[in-house]
Amino acid sequence: MAEQKLGNPAVVGLAGFGLTTMVLQFHNVGWMGLGPVVWLGLIFGGLAQMIAGLQEMKSGNNFGYCAFTGYGCFWIALVLLLLGNHYNIYTSSKTDVGWFLVAWTMFTVILWIGSMRVSSALALTFTLLLVGFVLLDLAHFGYPDLTVVAGYELMVTAAMAWYIMAHLIYADLFGRDVLPVGKPWIA
Amino acid sequence: MKFVRMAGLLGLVLACGAARAAAPAESEVANAEEAITKVRAAARFLHDKGSSAYSDFNQKDSKWVWKDSYVFVYDCRKDRMIAHPLRPDLVGKPILQVTDNSGKYIFKELCKAGSEPRGGWVEYSWPKPGAGRLSRKVSYALAADVSFAAGIQVSAGIYDENITMPELNKVLEKMSDPAKYPAL
C-alpha cells in the first residue's frame, strides 16, 4: 500500500504570515483601521500559523517549527496587547510596544541567518522582514514617519512569503517547479 | 408681605443669573497654560494607551472637556478627525479642506504648528461652546506618538479676543522650561 501523502504545513504558515502582515501594513500606511488586523491576527496570523508551526515538528523541519510557531505567537501576543490596551489590562505604551518589537527583531536575526541555508526566496523574505522590524523599531523610538516606510517594505515581505507559498502549492499541482525559489545563499 | 418677599427673592435670583450670563466667572474661561497642560497630558495618554484611547476623547464628560474648552484629536496624514467631544458629526470626516470665515485652512495650519518639536499656536474663528456664534479661537497643537500610526495630533484652544501670538509663545516658552515644568 502506498504511503499516504501528507500536506506541507508551511503553506498554511506562509499564508497566515503573509496575509496578516499584509493587512497590518494596509493599516500602517493609512488605508484602513486596526479592526480587521486584530481579528485576522488572532485567527490566521496567530492560531493557524501557530498550529502550522506545531505540525512542522512531525516533518522534522526545525526552522519551520520555530519560525511559524514563533511568529504565530507574535500575532496572538500583538493582538492581546492591543486588546489589553483597550480594556485596561496590562496596558502597553508606545515605548513598551517598541521594546516588544526589538525583542522580535533579535529573534528574527537568528532565523534570518538560518534562512540563508534554505533558499534565495526565503533568505530574501527574512532580509525584508528584518529590515521591516528595524524600521518599526525606529518608528517606535523617535521616527514615527518610518511606520509608513515600514508599511510598504513589509507589504513586499508579505508578497515574498506568498511567493514561497505559491511555489509549494503550484509545484504540487503542476507536478513541476513553476515558481523557483533559488539556491541557498550559504551553500 | 409674603408676596413682596417672594418677589424680592425672585428678583435676586434673576439678577444673579443675568450677571452670570453677562460676564462668566474667571474660573470658567480656560487659559493658555491649561490648554498646553491638557494637550500635553492628552499626547502622553495616547502614547501610553495607543489607538484604543481615541474613544475617550469623544466623551463630553471626560477630563478632556473642561471649562469652555476641550481636546480634539486628528490625523494629519490620513486627513481625518479622529475624536471631537462636542462635534460627533466631524469625527471620521476629512479635515484639511476645513476653512474658517476668513478662508484660513484651519487644520493645515494646525498640522504645521503641531509638527514643530514643541508644538505651536494657531489662530482662527470657531464657534465657542454654548455661544452659538463665531469667536476668535487660538489653539495649541502637538504631535502625539501613537504605536503603528504617524501624523496623529492633539489640540485644545482658548477663546480670547485679545491675547497676542507673542504672548502665547511666551507662555509656551515658559512651560517648555524643564526645570519649572518637568516632562509629563
pLDDT at B7: 55
Helix (H) or strand (E) holding B136: strand B134-143
Contacts of B17 (CB under 8 A, 6+ apart): none
For chain A, what are the domain ranges?
10-174
Contact list, B76 vs chain A (CB under 8 Å):
none
Contact list, A144 vs chain B (CB under 8 Å):
143, 145-146, 149-151
Residue B1 has pLDDT above 90, yes or no: no
Minimum distance, in Å, between the CA of residue B121 and any CA atom of chain A: 22
Minimum distance, in Å, between the CA of residue A186 and any CA atom of chain B: 34
For chain B, what are the domain ranges?
29-175
Interface test with B, best of A78, A95, A136, A147 (most B CBs within 10 A): A147
Which residue numbers in chain A have pLDDT < 70? 1-2
pLDDT at A30: 87
Contact list, B150 vs chain A (CB under 8 Å):
139, 144-145, 147-148
Contacts of A103 (CB under 8 A, 6+ apart): none
Helix (H) or strand (E) holding B39: helix B32-49
Average pLDDT over residues B134-158: 95
Whether A24 and B148 lie within 8 Å, measured CB to CB:
yes
What residue in B sits closest to A86 (Cα-Cα)? B52
Give me the residue label for grid cell 476629512.
Answer: B94
Whether A82 and B47 lie within 8 Å, measured CB to CB:
no
Residue B16 has pLDDT above 50, yes or no: no
What residue in A sits closest to B54 (Cα-Cα)? A86
Give me the residue label for grid cell 480634539.
Answer: B72
Residue B133: pLDDT band with limits 50, 70, 90: confident
Which residue in B50, B51, B77 is closest to A30 by CB distance? B77
Q: Which CATH architecture has domain B29-175?
A: 2-Layer Sandwich (3.30)
pLDDT (tens digit per residue) in B23-51: 455 568 999 999 999 999 999 999 999 99
Q: Is A93 on the interface with B (CB under 8 A)?
A: yes
Give me the residue label for grid cell 474660573.
Answer: B27
- The mean pLDDT value of chain B amounts to 87
pLDDT (tens digit per residue) in B51-107: 999 999 999 999 999 999 999 999 999 999 999 999 999 999 999 999 999 999 999
Which residue in B52, B78, B143 is closest to A85 by CB distance? B52
DSSP per position, B140-163: EEEE---TT--SEEEEEEEE-SS-
Rounded CA-CA distance B171/B36 in Å is: 9
Contact list, B75 vs chain A (CB under 8 Å):
30
pLDDT at A1: 59
Q: Is A77 on the interface with B (CB under 8 A)?
A: no
User: Residue ranges of the alpha helices (H) in A33-119?
Assistant: 35-40, 49-59, 62-87, 94-115
Whether B150 and A27 lie within 8 Å, measured CB to CB:
no
What residue in A sits closest to B82 (Cα-Cα)? A33
Q: Please count the other Cβ atoms lying within 10 Å of the Cβ belonging to residue A58.
A: 10
- For chain B, the residue count is 184
pLDDT at A157: 98
